[in-house]
Amino acid sequence: MQLWYAKCMGSRDFRQYCGLARALELVGERWGLLVIRELLARPCRYTDLRESLPGIPTNVLSARLKELEEAGIAERLLAPAPQRGVVYALTEAGRGLEPAVLALARWGSTQLGAQQPGELVPASTLALTLRAVFNPDAAHGLNASWEIRTAGIALYATVSDGQLATGVGSAPGEPDLVIAVQADEVPTFREILQAAGEGKAELTGRQDLLATFLRCFAPPRA
Partner DNA sequence: CTGCATCCACTTTGATACTG
Partner DNA sequence: CAGTATCAAAGTGGATGCAG
Name the site residues for its own copies (rule: CB under 8 A): 11-12, 14-24, 26, 28, 30, 33-34, 37, 54-55, 71, 93, 96-97, 99-112, 115-116, 118-122, 125, 128-129, 132, 188
CB nearer to DNA: pick between 59 and 116: 59
Decide if 104 contacts 132 (C-beta within 8 A). no
- 55 binds DNA per the rule CB under 7 A: yes
What is the C-alpha to C-alpha distance for residues 40 and 147, in angstroms, rounded to an integer?
Answer: 17
| Cβ neighbours of 77 (radius 10 Å) | 11
Decide if 210 contacts 177 (C-beta within 8 A). yes
CB nearer to DNA: pick between 64 and 149: 64
- 8 binds DNA per the rule CB under 7 A: yes
What residues from 95 to 124 belong to the interface with DNA (CB under 7 A)? none
Task: State how far the alpha carbon of 24 is from the alpha carbons of 6, 19, 72, 179, in Å.
Answer: 20, 9, 15, 38
What is the C-alpha to C-alpha distance for residues 1 and 201, in angstroms, rounded to an integer?
Answer: 60
Q: Which of 22, 45, 106, 190 binds DNA (CB under 7 A)?
A: 45
Which residues here bind DNA, judged by CB under 7 A? 1-2, 4-12, 29-31, 45-48, 55-60, 62-63, 65, 76, 79, 85-87
